[in-house]
Amino acid sequence: MAIETRQPSVRVEKESNGKRKQDEQKVVSLFVENIPEKCTGRNEVYSALLSRLELKDYLFFRVHGALAERLAGCGGVLRTKDGILRALFSGPVEEISLSFAFLAAVKIALVMFRETGWVGKVSLVLELDCKVVLNWLENPLQCPQKWWVHLVEIGRLACKLNHVKFQYISRSENLVAFELAMNGLHRQDFFTAWW
């Protein structure tokens, strides 16, 4: 009899741990939603708080921007931690600037991640090799004012997703995204695919 009473209590404890994590995540989301968007570090607060609620699996979205001969493009590739390809995009960018091309790539990657149905199932690690844009994501007020609208949109998208982490990756590790960005320079319209 003592064994039978212990087994259900263990089960209840496991269920309550899962419920507790869901409740913690809701609290974090509500907390972050009430931080004014002008507040610097809003995304860092969100990421830091959610990092405690670790999800088991991650997807890695590597993005890149490209600039050549008055043309700009961006590209990205979404992979599992095992390297299995899940999505990719390539296309032109409206403003002729390498930094803006990277910023556009980040925004498109977040939109695609949301549309692919992975939200709530896995965490997203967004990797890029542009330290300038990574700095803007951490310190939004350092971004040129003409691009603040895009940075605010990136912040809103990141807040709607469960867990997003931005990190630096070397260019040599980001060659597929680079090739997609270079291909995007000469495209007339955007190409996106996921499965």
pLDDT digits (tens, 9 = 90+) for 172-188: 999 999 999 999 998 99
**Which CATH number does the domain housing residue 142 bear?**
3.30.420.10
186 — phi, psi (to 5°)?
Answer: -105, 5
pLDDT digits (tens, 9 = 90+) for 41-93: 555 555 554 544 444 588 999 999 999 988 999 999 999 888 889 999 999 99
Asked if residue 93 belongs to a domain, the reply is yes
Number of domains composing the chain: 1
Asked if residue 10 belongs to a domain, the reply is no
pLDDT category, 122, cuts 50, 70, 90?
A: confident
Asked if residue 9 belongs to a domain, the reply is no
What's the whole-model pTM score?
Answer: 0.69
CB 102 within 8 A of CB 137: no
For 161, the domain range is 55-194
Asked if residue 18 belongs to a domain, the reply is no
Asked if residue 105 belongs to a domain, the reply is yes
